[in-house]
Amino acid sequence: MRGDTIAAISTPLGEGGIGIVRLSGPRAVEIAGGLFQATSGLSLQHVPSHTLHHGFIVAAGRRVDEVLVSVMRAPRTYTREDTVEINGHGGIVALTRILDLVLVGGARLAERGEFTERAFMNGRISLDEAQAVLDVVRARTRLGLEAAVERLGGRFSVAIAAIREEIGRLLASLEVGMDFPDVDEATEDLGPPLDRLVEEADALLARGERGRIVRDGLTVAIVGRTNVGKSTLLNAFLAEERAIVTPVPGTTRDTIEEEAAIGGVPVCLIDTAGIREPADLVEAEAQRRARRAIDRADLLLLVFNRSLPLTADDLDLARENWERPTVAVLNKSDLPRRAESLDPGRFAAVREVSAKTGDGVDALGREILRLVLRGEIPTHDAILFLDVWERDLLRRARSSLGEARAGLFSGVSPDLVAEALRSAYVATGQLQGIDVGEDVLKRIFSRFCVGK
């Protein structure tokens, strides 16, 4: 119900310095005021907006917690509704007790993302900015945070609005020519602006693909025969001794997964057991797990010991078709080279490193990003966070613009060109939150936590 007052705990549950119970809606101040005993003696109903007050939450004449209560009156709030935040001590018992009292007082427990949904429904933020809020909360690297904040500023909304406005202008121009054929309307002039629109849509899609990688991260499997330095390479990326390293071949008997930030991109690194003919059942299981890790990897680091001649196992691995980008990593560059040269045509790249000293590891990380991101190292203004629904709408808009451009130059009926433009206009409108169904909105906001 849009007219009711909602409440939720807006901070993570558990022990902490503070915890916040948030209320939003027409009765937010009244409900909180019925529980709050201000040190100043003032009633919350009469305090100015955007002020903070010390006191106690009181129930049945007993103090529940010492709190600070902020009062923010509509429309200058996140939801554009009256909002109260009760800042108590960050213990789960105290916060839950305060929330229970608020609910008994007449508030309803908020659904997932309902505060942000109300901000969108009340025109406080666009649908694009609402989704950016979730990206800020879920950012896993500094680059991801910068990109989310960039989108929170409405940059994508502005770009889509400009594209939609131009589509509308072209559609109006085309329809004038159809409705008033005696008017000298040169339809061929629509070609250059259509070309620009297609280029802009392509650029947004490219930024969205880079954003997908930055948000979702990559999975990189470190593969090779035993004792070539795979675990040492994992430790070098992590800058800590995560994997056990010994001179004994076959030390790693299971997969080890850890996440590192490489160039602002979350990368799940999987250290696998050395691939060779298994000597026992345990090693056979380790081999199976290594193969499973390889199957789900976006990219492989195939490690060789350059300080020794290549073995038959090395050559078998070098010849295998891995069906994904593979970088040949010639490890132990701090030692004299004795390994034969590998055929560079079989690999996406060949890099020399010393996992022991760290030499070349940073360059290897940059090479990983270049391969996955088609030669570009991401920056916050070159990436865009889009979910599956948004990417699909943007692709549909791009496809319709392409159809309109092709139809225009091939001489098809202006009606067909106009229909393609209308489809692009509708898709870009949905990206702005125009005529979006309630089921779509529920799906978007259900990804949020309760209290946001």
Whether the predicted pLDDT of 451 surpasses 90:
no
Average pLDDT for 50-75 = 95
Domains of the chain in start order, with CATH, are: 6-110 (3.30.1360.120), 125-216+387-452 (1.20.120.430), 221-375 (3.40.50.300)
Q: How many CA atoms lie within 13 A of 84 on its CB side?
A: 30
- Mean pLDDT rounded to a whole number for the chain: 85
Helices (H), 69-154: 92-104, 114-121, 127-138, 142-152
**C-alpha separations of 162 from 141, 168, 201, 404, 429 in Å:** 30, 10, 11, 18, 11
Which is it for strands 6-9 and 16-24: parallel, antiparallel or unpaired? antiparallel
At residue 182, the pLDDT reads: 56
Average pLDDT for 159-186 = 76
Average pLDDT for 270-297 = 78
Whether the predicted pLDDT of 279 surpasses 70:
no
At residue 188, the pLDDT reads: 46
At residue 50, the pLDDT reads: 96
At residue 248, the pLDDT reads: 46
Q: What would the two tokens of residue 393 be?
A: 């709408």
CA nearest neighbour of 147 among 135, 157, 158:
135
The pLDDT tens digits of the residues spanning 92-129 come to 898 999 999 999 999 999 998 899 999 988 988 888 78
**CA-to-CA distance for 204 and 424, rounded, in angstroms?**
15
Q: Of 6-20, 160-174, 279-293, 349-363, which range is least confident?
A: 279-293
Whether the predicted pLDDT of 178 surpasses 80:
no
Average pLDDT for 293-321 = 90
At residue 35, the pLDDT reads: 95
Which is it for strands 6-9 and 108-109: parallel, antiparallel or unpaired? parallel
Q: How confident is the model at residue 247 (pLDDT cuts 50, 70, 90)?
A: low
Q: How confident is the model at residue 181 (pLDDT cuts 50, 70, 90)?
A: low
Q: What would the two tokens of residue 21 be?
A: 């119970």
**CA-to-CA distance for 351 and 52, rounded, in angstroms?**
58
Give the list of residues 6+ apart from residue 97 with CB closer than 8 angstroms, or none.
Answer: 59, 64, 65
**Which has more pLDDT, 370 or 244?**
370
CB 224 within 8 A of CB 304: yes
Whether the predicted pLDDT of 145 surpasses 60:
yes
CB 225 within 8 A of CB 212: no
Which is it for strands 349-352 and 265-271: parallel, antiparallel or unpaired? unpaired
3-class secondary-structure state, position 141: coil
Using a pLDDT cut of 90, give the percent of the chain over it: 41
**CA-to-CA distance for 66 and 288, rounded, in angstroms?**
57
**Sheet arrangement for strand 6-9:** 36-38, 51-59, 62-72, 83-90, 16-24, 6-9, 108-109
Q: How confident is the model at residue 187 (pLDDT cuts 50, 70, 90)?
A: very low
Q: How confident is the model at residue 277 (pLDDT cuts 50, 70, 90)?
A: low
At residue 102, the pLDDT reads: 96
Give the list of residues 6+ apart from residue 444 with CB closer than 8 angstroms, or none.
Answer: 113, 127, 130, 131, 387, 389
Q: What would the two tokens of residue 270 be?
A: 């999987």
At residue 105, the pLDDT reads: 94
Give the list of residues 6+ apart from residue 197 with CB closer than 8 angstroms, or none.
Answer: 163, 166, 167, 401, 424
- Return phi, psi of residue 318, to 5°: -65, -30
The pLDDT tens digits of the residues spanning 313-366 come to 889 889 988 888 999 999 999 999 998 888 888 999 999 999 999 999 999 998
Q: What would the two tokens of residue 7 be?
A: 């409440």
CA nearest neighbour of 432 among 120, 201, 116:
120
Whether the predicted pLDDT of 179 surpasses 70:
no
